Amino acid sequence: MSITYVDAIREAQDKLLRDDPRVFLYGQDISRFGGAFKATKGLAEAYPGRVLDSPISEDAMIGMAIGASLDGMRPIVEMQFADFSSVAFNQIVNQAGTHFYRTGVPVPITVRLPSGGTPGSGPFHSQSMEAIYSHYPGLVVVTPATVSDAYHMLLQAVEVDDPVIYCEHKFLYRWLKANSINGDGLPIGKARITRPGKHASIVTYSAMVHEAVRAADRLQEESGWEIEVVDLRTVKPLDMDTVLASVARTGRLLALGEAFPWGGVTAEVASRVAAEGFHLLDAPPKRFNSRDTPVPYHPKLWAAHRPTPESICVAMRELLSY
């Protein structure tokens, strides 16, 4: 028996609905249809009246979730694709993000963003919005990369009393499988050393964790380099303790992400390591992202647009030869 990443998301929602009467799900086509990616399959039948189809109104969806959370509920909103959350941007950053600071009343909503690219998804069904939401105060932004994290972090997200942007990766939905969900559940906010090493650190998150591990395996096989891979798991807040400890061990940093290169999570990691861990570095911190164009449609272009194990190896060799 194996469980996929999207199964884990479904299981977590099942458990939340079962255990917590404050939880309800709101999103497009999530009820009988089970969601565009089937992350809510069967839940409408199991929990009548608590899995609600919404109109195609992202602004209203988040606004309504905010209202419901102010009234004591714990709504989980599914964006059909992360890209469409831009329509709800105002509600997320201005309404949810400012509410606790302004009024002292928290807004415990969870927004699920099916993020990142898959072959053929093109410019409007591939975007990674984590940096945009991290930029704004008041929000927690999580980016699970494993099946177990997808499960545990969603449970935790709903527990958090503040708005949580839960960036799940579409590429991992069915591609990533585990034998079971293991029970550890590191807390939101804590990074994990996915692969230990001593010559350089790749600090990354979400689907890029897997590409980084492949690149690291390849470098080890080919040249004996031992590369450490740090999975941030949460991009806001950033677990700089774990990142700096890793850089202290290795002396070199590659900040890796699938999002566009300008600004963003990798820029944040690189600048913080440079500022807080300059003395730990044997080489300038390096960043590696997707290319600075909209995400292309054709699988061949798409595969070359995002970092791949091959291109990560090239970046790593540059970093290691400094």
Q: Which positions lie near other proteins, rule CB under 8 A?
A: 24, 49-50, 54-55, 57-73, 75, 87, 90-91, 94-95, 97-106, 137-140, 160-162, 187-190, 234, 237-241, 272
**28 three-state secondary structure:** coil
Tell me whether residue 3 or residue 140 sits nearer to other proteins (CB atom).
140
Could you tell me the end-to-end alpha-carbon distance of the chain, in angstroms, rounded to an integer?
Answer: 46
Catalytic choice (125, 169, 210, 305) = 125
- What's the min distance (Å) between Cβ of 49 and other proteins? 7
Give the dihedral of Cα atoms 14, 15, 16, 21; nearest 10 deg.
90
Dist. CA 150–CA 243, nearest whole Å: 21
The continuous run of DSSP H or E covering 222 comes out as: helix 208-223
Dist. CA 280–CA 277, nearest whole Å: 5
Cβ atoms 136, 93 nearer than 8 A: yes
- What's the min distance (Å) between Cβ of 142 and other proteins? 10
Cβ atoms 7, 55 nearer than 8 A: no
- What's the min distance (Å) between Cβ of 55 and other proteins? 5
Confirm whether 125 is a catalytic residue. Answer: yes
Tell me whether residue 98 or residue 311 sits nearer to other proteins (CB atom).
98
Tell me whether residue 96 or residue 313 sits nearer to other proteins (CB atom).
96
Tell me whether residue 54 or residue 290 sits nearer to other proteins (CB atom).
54
The residues that are catalytic are: 125
